[in-house]
A and B are shown apart, each in its own frame.
Chain A
Amino acid sequence: SHQDEDKQVYIVYMGAVPSNAGYMPSSQHINILREVTGESSIENRLVRSYRRSFNGFAATLSDSERERVANMEGVVSVFPSRKLQLQ
């Protein structure tokens, strides 16, 4: 769909992994995605979760969803996943 064409993979960077014992990065990533997309099933949206050494995730988002994520508490930055070059 046209809406799908407008979506791209964004990286949502959330800084260090919080040290509180009960914190579950993957759960938070899923909750954030559900909240901004309004979709209960986000399997096709979540591309990667970063949870071992830092906190964040990569997801397929529309531009408006990107803006909403960027304004959420706990998010440092949101930026497109770009192609880098071997040098």
Chain B
Amino acid sequence: TTASWDFMGFKENKTKRVPNLESDIIVGVIDSGIWPESASFDDNGFGPPPKKWKGECDGGQNFTCNNKIIGARYYTRNGGIIGTPQSARDHIGHGTHTSSTAAGNSVKDASFYGLGLGTARGGVPAARIAAYKVCDPGGCFSDRLLSAFDDAIADGVDVITISAGADLAARFEQDPIAIGAFHAMAKGILTVNSAGNNGPSTSTVSSVAPWILSVSASNTNRAFFTKVVLGNEKIVGRSVNSYDLKGGKYDLVYGKSASSRCDEGSARICSSGCLDKKLVKGKIVLCDTPLGSHEAEWAGAVGTIVKNDRSDVSNVFSSPVAALSEDQYETVVSYVTSTEDPKVSILKSDTSMNETAPVVASFSSRGPNTIIPDILKPDVTAPGIEILAAYSLDASPSGDAAHDNRRAEYVVLSGTSMSCPHVAGAAAYLKTFHPDWSPSMIKSSIMTTAWPMNATEDAESVFAFGSGHLKPTAAADPGLVYESTKADHIALLCALNFTTTSLRLISGDNSTCTKEQADTLPRNLNYPSMAAAVSSQTEFNLTFVRTVTNVGMANSTYKANVVEGAGSSKIDVKVEPDALSMKSMYEKKSFTVTVSGKALKPLEPMSATLVWSDGTHTVRSPIVIYAKG
């Protein structure tokens, strides 16, 4: 966060804030707990909890709340790892990281051993945090997670952030996050959820319910690099290497040449038990996979150079490690095999300007949505690569407790877990300007004001980033919003074959599932993006029906423009009417978007963007049409 908020133009001291309202905002964090002694959660300057707070501090052993962390509960009593203290204290670090990204204090001079130095802060530094611990080193079980939702909603939080999920999407009635988030939505609470880390394959997004704001991960303009010095040549690798070898040059040995016990295939990846201590001690070892660094460290190596198939992410290791792309790695292999006395140095990491940001992370899960193909997921993108934020002093920075004895107050992590709390922080920020806005209004504001992100030459990349990249300041003044109520979502469930009996139980009211509702197409949910899965065999001509609510200026006229996207020459998009004249605040106007085109091939989605503009506000909605299968 020492770079991510600035990257989005959300500058400290240059961003308009409403401090008295921000102090009343409560962010509920469902995660691995929190480290209450972190400077990010110091309560200096905070008054007592807001009057609306109905929760409690039930943090267990050795856990005290304060006026920043106003609530804590833990659900790891039953079935938790034996020996893990019973409390809301974070023993993993993850929950502390996400909490500080969403709502941590501004903390100057935060860094990871000098790396990433800057002011760490949350989206709403003056807001309060309620921590709900559902994850311990043994995992995050669904039954605990539902308890956390049950409590967080009743406790009176304003926004829920949950950076956890399953590997695959599940039907809504069997998806604990969808269930919890539905009841949160019904009580006016937006749930922000990480999209998942199973990219870049398509159909991997696990957070798919339309009442959730699902977040993919991108990089920022700051990247961590680690230089490797070979003779007189320098190679730039990735990793967050806090170890300073003082420029010392060490003998370089390839794993495959440092084993007398294993076959070549196992030795070159430095499999466990393969390396001979006498051959690697005091040297730097070359291993074909990142996991090999553990074996090298165990065998007494000074450091490891590894081949990494994720060239867009730098990870923290428990020893000096440089992760190289395949090309770079082969250069080092060539050097070690062709040089009589190969020497190498791994330097401490540094940061550099990443000119290409924002780009979606390779690991970030992609659509299409496997449960409702006509709802585009993920919804929006936010920084999730190399985020420096607060951490637990009970956890090792590399997450490798067996090898890493370091402890750090601020640590660099990557994942959609890290992007999710950025959006939650932004949602909380919006609530300070619009305390009465519904979850769908907040969600729409974030989506329609997002920075455009372009599809790459890979056509399927339109499934990666949703509406684009989070832009918090713009989201506070969206102009128009697409609203959807609890009743709209119940009608959607009706269209998804839920019975009246089930819908009445879920809604707690007299909802019915009429034939008209059952025949309604999911793509006509008043969603801020538009997607449709069509047959690959035939031409298509389909419509999206939408209604916008004026939240900009009372008297304004919005004109529609359609911007071409990937393959959009094959689709024809018409908007009717193409101008919307608003006369008052909260006035609603409906329109239809008709999209037609020739038969699409599978794996070749077509995209465009509908842009409504009144000259002051720009309200963007992606349109994605793709062939089933």
User: A-side interface residues toward B, CB under 8 Å?
Assistant: 9, 11, 13-19, 47-48, 50-56, 58, 74, 76-77, 79-87
Contacts and interface: CB of A to CB of B under 8 A. Distances in A.
A20 to B, nearest CB: 10
Interface in B130-164: 135, 138-147, 149-151, 153-154, 163-164
B31 A16 contact: no
A87 B143 contact: no
Contacts of A51: 150
Chain B: interface secondary structure? Answer: helix
Closest 7 CB pairs of A and B: A16-B508, A15-B505, A58-B143, A53-B153, A52-B154, A77-B173, A83-B139
B21 interface: no
A84 B139 contact: yes
23 contacts: A11-B142, A11-B146, A11-B176, A15-B508, A16-B505, A16-B506, A16-B508, A17-B508, A48-B75, A48-B143, A53-B150, A53-B187, A54-B153, A55-B505, A58-B143, A76-B502, A84-B141, A84-B176, A86-B92, A86-B140, A86-B164, A87-B196, A87-B417
- For chain B, give the interface size range: 35 or more
Contacts of B508: 15-19
Contacts of B111: none
A86 B507 CA distance: 29
B183 interface: yes
B146 A50 contact: yes
Contacts, number: 117
Nearest to B97: A86
A74 B163 CA distance: 31
Interface of B: 31-32, 75, 78, 92, 94, 135, 138-147, 149-151, 153-154, 163-167, 170, 173-174, 176-177, 179-180, 183-184, 186-187, 194, 196-197, 415-417, 420, 502, 504-509
Contacts of A9: 141, 143
B379 to A, nearest CB: 15
B139 A11 contact: no
Most chain A CB within a 10 A radius of its CB, from B146, B180, B417: B146
A84 B174 CA distance: 13
B143 A54 contact: no
Contacts of A19: 508
A71 B348 CA distance: 61
A50 B147 contact: yes
B540 to A, nearest CB: 34
Given A15-B505, A53-B153, A81-B141, A86 B146 contact: no
